[in-house]
Amino acid sequence: MMRKLKYTQQDQWESEARETQSPILIETAKLKAKKNQIVDGLKNYTTTELHKNYNSLSLTANGKMEADQRSFQLEEVHFHHPAEHCFKGEATPRVLEAHFVHYGCLRQPLVVSVTFKLGSKNATFEKILTAMDDNKVEQFILLDDLIPKRGYFYRYIGSLTTPPLTEGVEWVVFEQAQMIDIDQLNHYMATFKEQNNRELQKLNHRKIEKYEI
């Protein structure tokens, strides 16, 4: 049964001696970009159901992507405020982060992370907010425009960012932020008032790979 997480008491979350946790701080300047021949797809993403959980908004979603010639099915998208992953050198955290949660044929998890900054109004996010107010999705929402089409992404092995904090999760984290405006952020926060971002975790000598989109 889902329960409300207390983000002000993260030190009390059930945990063992773990070395590959998420989220992390990404030091972009130290990494040399490779040409992307690893990740493909990331399109035809749609959502038809919406759920207001205790801590965040969750979308039941469909779509496929490939990583290392393995196929992954998109099952769910949810949001964290403010963003969980951070990029070294930025003065303030990004205001929102979407996790596109995929599973492979053996139920191995892969999460695509897209962060948001304040800027112009986001048409796709506006449709999500409308569905949130209505407590349902009237027509399927195409989520493709939330996926960055330029810049870089980073791959590393980490964990879920909520209990049970399961490790062995493949992460694809986009550096290029999408935009939402202040009214959209306030609209979201009117429903989900409390912050739900996990604290940054130690890298512990893990390898981060950087790819050019």
Report the predicted TM-score, pTM, of the whole model to 2 decimal places.
Answer: 0.95
Q: Residues 107-120: pLDDT tens digits?
A: 999 999 999 999 99
**Taken in order 44, 146, 53, 110, is the CA torsion positive or negative?**
positive
Query: What SS3 state is found at 167?
Result: strand
Sequential pLDDT tens for the chain (213 residues): 457 899 999 988 876 668 999 999 999 988 999 999 889 988 899 998 999 999 999 999 999 999 999 999 999 999 999 999 999 999 888 999 999 999 999 999 999 999 999 999 999 999 999 999 999 998 899 999 999 999 999 999 999 999 999 999 999 999 999 999 999 999 999 999 999 999 999 999 999 999 999
Phi, psi at 64, each rounded to 5°: -135, 155
Q: Dig out the tokens for 40 from the structure.
A: 């493909």
What is the Cα–Cα distance from 14 to 2, expressed in whole angstroms? 15
What is the gyration radius of the CA atoms in the chain, in angstroms? 16
| Residues, the chain | 213
User: What angle, rounded to 10 degrees, do the helices at 123-134 and 182-191 form?
Assistant: 30
Query: What SS3 state is found at 61?
Result: strand
**Taken in order 122, 126, 128, 133, is the CA torsion positive or negative?**
positive
What is the Cα–Cα distance from 105 to 10, expressed in whole angstroms? 32
Q: Dig out the tokens for 136 from the structure.
A: 């349902």
Q: Residues 78-101: pLDDT tens digits?
A: 999 999 999 999 988 899 999 999
